Amino acid sequence: MALTLSFLLVLLSLNIRALASVHTIIVGTFGTEFLYTVQYNDEEGTLSLVGRSSVEAASSWLTLSHDKTKMYGTNWNSETPTFISYDLSDWEDIKVEASILGGGLCSGSKSIFVNAYQEPPYTVYGNYYYGNAWCSSVMSVHENGTLDRIIQEYVYSPGSAVHGTAFSPNGEFMFSTDTLGNLIWTHRIDPKTGILSNLSKIRGPEEGSGPRHATTDYSGTHLYVVFEEASLVGQYSILENGTLVFDAQYSLLPEGADPTDYWADEVSLSPSEKYLWASNRAHNISQKGFISAFELNVDGQIQEQLFLNPTTNSGGFANSVAASPYNDSIASLTDNSTGFVEIWDITGNMLAHLDINDGEGCCANAVWLD
């Protein structure tokens, strides 16, 4: 009887969670030292600001730990490239727990991107941009997920500047999108320590493709890459040894637009891998950026571009699209040309808009907590 009752209670709480209509997003900034906590109510179709945490850094890139109890960020304001470790015990009052200085093998660089390995040893991988940014760093975490220290400094090649990384889902490989080197690198990840070793690299499909960010599918058979300079999305097959094979690419611009007027930004996979979202930014803040989505087949191949629509503004430095973790049809979009967060759906419509105009900061990227 007692067993049945607790079983029912578990079912009930699972059900309440699945039906929850309020979802929480954390947004970082370029410049102002705040993290914004935003809620999307998908029954009412509204976004609201529920928290503003004053932190000692401008995290232009945020990423979550595997269990979403910690968050890691860059620091756009820091002279010495720095990574910040945040505690998420209270989503509306986020605290800094540690700052890690990095970039030892680079010079004149900023921390630009950070990514958390989703399996033990939960190592965190940091990249740099600007100046001589050919280096990157691997960081260990304490048992509770807080950033501990740098355990590896390594280099790509002269002229490299890596703006993003992605892990193969079996945790075997890390892919690095080297925008200025026009390369995509495969490193092997040591499953015990998280330390990287060299495996292979592949040039962008054309001169000046400019791979910026990437994501893999859950089967680990494809890598999707956004090419910043060419304003394209590329699909690669991943061979068993981590070598990439270029399959195809698709435009993030309408016919006749000039890629040099744009700098494509992000790719993000929906939770059941039905859709791949992508975004593009306009250099000129009086022009619009673009948002797009592609339908994938069950094997992870891009089938069709569903829409390519202008965004509300240029996007500024952001226009960063992030698929929601709870509904394939929903993604968030951030903009720092005037400072706002939006929710878009898979038919290419903007569902909700929230201005966060804090002067020279909001909004960089967004992460979904639930």
In the complex with ligand NAG, the residue whose CB is nearer, 29 or 249, is: 29
Q: How far is the CB of 1 from ligand NAG (least distance, A)?
A: 34
Name the nearest CA neighbour of 89 among 59, 58, 51, 118: 51
Amino acid identity of 80? T
Q: Which of 22, 24, 31, 52 binds ligand NAG (CB under 6 A)?
A: 31
Contact between residue 209 and residue 183 where contact means Cβ atoms under 8 Å apart: no
Contact between residue 175 and residue 244 where contact means Cβ atoms under 8 Å apart: yes
- Name beta bridge partners: 95: 87
DSSP 169-212: TTS-EEEEEETTTTEEEEEEEPTTT--EEEEEEEE-SSTT--EE
Name the one range near ligand NAG by CB under 6 A: 209-217, 218-226, 307-315, 323-331. Answer: 323-331
In the complex with ligand NAG, the residue whose CB is nearer, 6 or 170, is: 170
Name the one range near ligand NAG by CB under 6 A: 123-131, 228-236, 238-246, 252-260. Answer: 238-246
Counting every residue, how long is the chain? 370
Residues 110 to 139 in contact with ligand NAG, rule: CB under 6 A: none
- Residue 165: count of CB within 10 angstroms of its CB: 22
Residues 268 to 287 in contact with ligand NAG, rule: CB under 6 A: 284, 286-287
Residues 143 to 172 in contact with ligand NAG, rule: CB under 6 A: 144, 146, 155-157
Q: How far is the CB of 236 from ligand NAG (least distance, A)?
A: 13
Name the one range near ligand NAG by CB under 6 A: 7-15, 106-114, 192-200, 307-315. Answer: 192-200
Q: Is 337 in the site for ligand NAG (CB under 6 A)?
A: yes
Q: What letter does residue 122 receive in the DSSP assignment?
A: -
User: What binding mask, one character per residue, do residues 62-91 give for ligand NAG by CB under 6 A, x or -?
Assistant: -------------------------x----
In the complex with ligand NAG, the residue whose CB is nearer, 126 or 242, is: 242
Contact between residue 50 and residue 92 where contact means Cβ atoms under 8 Å apart: yes
Q: Which of 129, 224, 262, 317 binds ligand NAG (CB under 6 A)?
A: 317
Containing 19, the helix (H) or strand (E) segment is: helix 2-19
Please give the Cα distance from 272 to 246 (Å, whole number).
23
In the complex with ligand NAG, the residue whose CB is nearer, 74 or 249, is: 74
Contact between residue 298 and residue 286 where contact means Cβ atoms under 8 Å apart: no
Please give the Cα distance from 129 to 56 (Å, whole number).
21
* Contacting positions for ligand NAG (CB under 6 A): 30-31, 87, 97, 142, 144, 146, 155-157, 198-200, 239, 241, 243, 284, 286-287, 316-317, 327, 329-330, 336-337, 345, 360
